[in-house]
Amino acid sequence: MTILNKSFNTPYNTAPFSEIKTSDYLPAFKIAIAKAKSEIDSIVNNNEPPTFENTIEALDFSGEELDRLSSVFFNLNSAETNDAIQKIAQEVSPLLSDFSNDVTLNEDLFKRVKSVYESKTKLDLTTEQETLLDKKYKGFSRNGANLSEEKKTQLRAIDKESSQLKLTFGEHLLAETNKFEMHLTNASDVSGLPEGAKEAAKQLAEAKGKNGWLITLDYPSYIPFMTYADNRMLREKLSKAFGSKGFKNDELDNQDIVLKIAKLRFERAQLLGYKTHADFVLEERMAQTPENVISFLNELLEKAKPAAEEEFKNLEAFAKDLDGIDQLQKWDSGYYSEKLKQKLFSLDDEQLKPYFKLENVINGSFTVANKLFGLEFEEIDTIDKYHKDVLTYKVTDAAGELVSIFYADFFPRAGKRNGAWMTSYKPQMIKDGHNHRPHVSIVCNFTKPTKSKPSLLTFNEVTTLFHEFGHALHGMLANTTYPSLSGTSVFWDFVELPSQILENWCYEEETLKLFAKHYETGEIIPMELIAKIKASSTFHEGMQTLRQLSFGLLDMSWHAGESPETIKSVKQQEIKAFGKTSLYPDIAENCMSTAFAHIFQGGYSSGYYSYKWAEVLDADAFEYFKEEGIFNKTVADKFKAFVLSQGGTENPMTLYKKFRGQEPKPEALLRRAGLLK
């Protein structure tokens, strides 16, 4: 037995990262799977007739040790991985897939669940219990419990192969990101770059024993170069390197993996009686059908496209006037957009960054959470961390009661994947009369402090931090009985509401005055800069909307169309999907799908539309706050009571209407985006 198979004897029952050896994981998984199997056996072998308590509830609380272990391991595989951890992930994933199938294809267990499900009208269940019963029954039926033995075997094989392909897809992507370096030695090559970006590039080079500057595909290095570097050829080189990840016909190529994953998802859906993978996924979403999603995306496309085309025409004319550029390319987008934005609003990220020192932004997000929901955040050093850069906090309510443990991990490093996400190391649940509080984490990739400057965020990074912190609040304020309905365990087109609504506070003067202070002088951000942030917030909103919609349409093209058997070329499939949304010329050596981790590695397949869907919700919800005051306690209490604390205990539209008093209206989003004239 390893340390991972015992109850953690640590403060707040936190994960004992420093005591875990990598070699502990594989044996720990085998022990935890065996234990979870025996818990399932005891439910199946119970001589008592099936009841909600001895079957449904027992099932939801089973496998607690395995779930906890999986959280620790797979979170580290994203945030602090290495070759050994990746190798274990490849070994463990099929074991977990087999175990999951052992549960969902267990006929005797399904008989008990079905028996309770069929007698549900006679049971006196709460809304949460009814939701759990439906979820458990569907968990079986949607995973093959009603299939013949032969088809169950097919399903197991599909799930096993899919889980390994997703892992390999992610490993290729990380290896591609880490492999590329653009080493620059002429000062002219970094012309246009802000001092902070230059210094960070110099430090990267020094860390590798090189002179000059090092530019990588990590966002804090990539984005500033694409936005500010004057050398167009180098922007082209970097852009093509970024856009060709997994698309080079080499050992890290993802094209076959993409085709295989799409094909397996289609086969799985057909096996279960669904037309496509999207039909299968969307049955458990607010949107319900692929037709609804495609019509939603096309409706927004119709509203956004004229604005996007007008913005693109203006950008082309601007680049031609400024530098004689005849044909605007993708590697010109960030550069000339930033130049035009500076011209129109006399505003650039470099002006704003001194007011957004990372520590101040963190404290700002805490102040917002305090004013809205009465939360207190205290940094503590009594719990273990998986990396020295991680910050750890104890979160309490107004009465001083523990709400959550909070981990924050902000800087890029070799073993960490790109992007930003929220996750959890321990779920919230009420068990044996005790409310077990969650351990929540956010992971980002911001510019590290340099020798002369602290970590200063771009405004986009400020909104990213607030976005992930919104997810974290959804996890922290969870207050449900059952772990599978707790926190962010909601329909995926609802999960982005808490994250996206919090971004709105970043644009408000009342909020910015709380934390946007110059890192050297302590001066509060000038009002004219706040006015410019507001004025520029809809800058190129048409083009941004088109870009988001293109990703949603690409996702649906892989998962809602005809059999992927008919797709021979990943690139051609993509060109077809991007048909209505393309503004820039296509780059032959680039491909989005081979690096589209959200849908081929993460859980967003047939769900990328949900970002826009949730924007409709968040714009409508924030209008309510604006009507009553952005820190209005009554509105905040309703948001906490009906959205943040309820998890997936009830249909999300029901919860939204309880909060808002009505269904969301898309006009709020179009107004905010400046697309409604």
Question: Could you tell me if 467 and 363 are in contact, meaning their C-beta atoms sit under 8 angstroms apart?
Answer: no
Tokens linked to 351:
């002006």
Distances (CA, A) of 511 to 3, 355, 408, 519, 669: 44, 13, 21, 17, 21
- Strands 391-396 and 402-409, how do they pair? antiparallel
Residues 391, 437 contacting (CB under 8 angstroms): no
- Report residue 443: phi and psi, to 5°: -130, 125
- In our burial notation (b when 16+ CB lie closer than 10 A, e otherwise), range 335-344 reads bbbbbbbeee
Which among 80, 468, 615, 623 is annotated as catalytic? 468
Phi-psi domain of 194 (left: phi exceeds 0; alpha: psi -120 through 50; beta: other): beta
Q: Are strands 182-184 and 213-215 parallel, antiparallel or unpaired?
A: antiparallel
The CA distances from residue 18 to 79, 312, 388, in Å, are: 15, 52, 11
Whole-number Å distance between alpha carbons of 457 and 353: 5
Q: Residue 182: beta bridge partners?
A: 215
Q: What SS3 state is found at 125?
A: coil
Reference 53, options 482, 434, 436; nearest CA is 482
Pairing of strands 434-436, 429-431: antiparallel
402-409 vs 439-443, strand pairing mode: parallel
3 state SS of 402: strand
Separation between Cα atoms, residue 406 and residue 426, nearest integer Å: 11
What is the DSSP code string of 2-40?
A: -GGGS---SGGG---GGG--GGGHHHHHHHHHHHHHHHH
Element (H, E) at 670: helix 667-672
Q: Which segments of 32-186 are extended strands (E)?
A: 182-184
Return the closest-CA partner of residue 578 out of 561, 599, 554, 596: 554
- The pair of three-digit structure tokens given for residue 354, joined into one six-digit string: 């001194």
User: What is the phi-psi region of residue 557: left when phi exceeds 0, alpha when psi lies from -120 to 50, beta otherwise?
Assistant: alpha
CB crowding 134-164: b at 16 or more within 10 Å, else e: ebbbebbbbbbbebeeeebebbbebbbebbb
- Do 526 and 649 form a contact (C-beta atoms < 8 A)? no
CA 6/CA 27 separation, integer angstroms: 13
468 has catalytic annotation:
yes
Q: Residue 403: phi, psi to the nearest 5? A: -100, -45
Say how far apart CA 478 and CA 674 lie, in whole Å. 34
Stretch (H or E) spanning 379: strand 376-379
Contacts of 66 (CB under 8 A, 6+ apart): 29, 32, 33, 35, 36, 99
Whether 516 contacts 356, CB under 8 Å: yes
Q: What's the CA gap between 428 and 404, in Å, rounded? A: 9
Tracing tokens 């002179």 back to the chain, one arrives at 211
CA 237 to chain centre: 28
Produce one character per residue of 59-68: b if its CB has 16 or more CB atoms within 10 Å, e if not: bbebbbbbeb
**Catalytic site residues?**
468
